[in-house]
């Protein structure tokens, strides 16, 4: 059974301001928490839900069918948002949500290799038909590439030491499993930091997962495409769990909500030079105390929402 806690579900659904006859997209269907709530609010509208995990698609499709029939599940990465929707005759949408967290079933399924608590082959692929795995990254990528992803994606202050330890260990024998990697990582982080900074491998696993799935590049392209497809008054919601993901959403929302630089601050701005978007959440929405009690994975979640107010 695909049981997944949908982070900031109530807040995101409310801020999407769903219209019963609208066209909506859940770019990250997973266990269907957000999809279910959107579908419940549609009468003549339609939901398109993206996922690339076969197990999630099978389980969640059955769940959604119990709510209504006006949905379509698309087995694809959301980077193909525009082309996949176009194949269904959809070129504009009323709303879209991105929940960028790894689903709980993926984290909890030891064999997927996402967890640093359970031993499993180094995998971390969201799409299990993809070729690049965490084992490839750890054992085959050059030191400087390892340093770059651990430093940038993991924001690990001991990135150089960790990358050197990985390089030295794999020269003896390949690093095959998650717990083997955890032990190598521990040797690259000072003991004092291991005791006080949370699990020492958390940031490294995060960095490798992002690299394996090219998550930041994929998300930025998909978000640009999603915003371009929104109708007037259409909304886009992004739930992020990593500062770099949040930064992408914040930057794109900010840039799109500014008037043309030549007219900024003027008392009257010609229509053609006004901002295309309005930011609905001036500050990102965080999980409530009640939600944090129910799901500790919500603590790093941030929700940002923007609305299209003009088209060029």
> What pLDDT was estimated at residue 86?
98
| Per-residue pLDDT at 102 exceeds 90 | no
Q: Find out whether 106 and 213 touch, Cβ atoms under 8 Å.
A: no
Query: Is-above-0.85 flag for pTM?
Result: yes
pLDDT above 90 covers a percentage of the chain that reads: 77
| Rg, Å, the chain Cα set | 21
pLDDT band at 76 (very low <50, low <70, confident <90, very high): very high
| Per-residue pLDDT at 48 exceeds 70 | yes
> What pLDDT was estimated at residue 104?
56
- For each of the domains in the chain, give its residue range(s) and CATH number, in order of start: 9-99+215-308 (3.40.50.150), 115-213 (1.10.150.170)
More confident residue, 87 or 113: 87
pLDDT band at 152 (very low <50, low <70, confident <90, very high): very high
**173: which 2 tokens?**
């024998």
More confident residue, 264 or 2: 264
- Summarised one tens digit per residue, pLDDT across range 186-243 is 999 998 888 776 788 999 999 999 999 999 999 999 999 999 999 999 999 999 999 9
**152: which 2 tokens?**
């940038």
| Per-residue pLDDT at 13 exceeds 70 | yes
Q: Which residues contact 178 (CB under 8 A, 6 or more apart)?
A: 113, 115, 116, 118, 119, 120, 121, 122, 205
């Amino acid at each position: 059974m695909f049981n997944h806690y949908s982070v900031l579900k109530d807040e995101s659904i409310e801020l999407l301001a769903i219209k019963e006859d609208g066209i909506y997209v859940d770019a990250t269907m997973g266990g269907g928490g957000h999809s279910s709530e959107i579908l419940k609010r549609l009468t003549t509208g339609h939901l398109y839900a993206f996922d690339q995990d076969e197990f999630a698609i099978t389980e969640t499709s059955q769940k959604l069918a119990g709510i209504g029939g006006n949905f379509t599940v698309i087995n694809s990465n959301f980077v193909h948002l525009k082309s996949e929707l176009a194949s269904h005759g959809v070129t504009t949408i009323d709303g879209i949500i991105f929940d960028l967290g790894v689903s709980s079933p993926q984290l909890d399924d030891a064999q997927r290799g996402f967890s640093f608590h359970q031993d499993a082959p180094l995998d971390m692929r969201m799409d299990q038909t993809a070729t690049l795995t965490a084992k490839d990254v750890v054992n085959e990528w050059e030191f400087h590439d390892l340093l770059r992803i651990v430093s940038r994606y993991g924001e690990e202050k001991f990135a150089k030491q960790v990358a050197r330890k990985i390089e030295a260990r794999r020269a003896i024998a390949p690093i095959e499993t998650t717990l083997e990697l955890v032990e190598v990582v521990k040797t690259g982080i000072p003991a004092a930091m291991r005791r006080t900074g949370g699990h020492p491998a958390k940031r490294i696993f995060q960095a490798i997962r992002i690299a394996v799935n090219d998550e930041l590049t994929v998300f930025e392209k998909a978000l640009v495409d999603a915003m371009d497809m929104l109708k007037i008054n259409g909304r886009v919601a992004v739930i992020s769990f990593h500062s770099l993901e949040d930064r992408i959403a914040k930057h794109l929302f900010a840039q799109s909500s500014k008037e043309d630089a030549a007219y900024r601050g003027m008392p009257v701005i010609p229509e053609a030079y006004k901002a295309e978007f309005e930011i609905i959440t001036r500050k990102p929405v965080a999980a409530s105390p009640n939600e944090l009690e129910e799901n500790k994975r919500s603590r790093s979640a941030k929700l940002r929402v923007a609305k299209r107010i003009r088209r060029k």
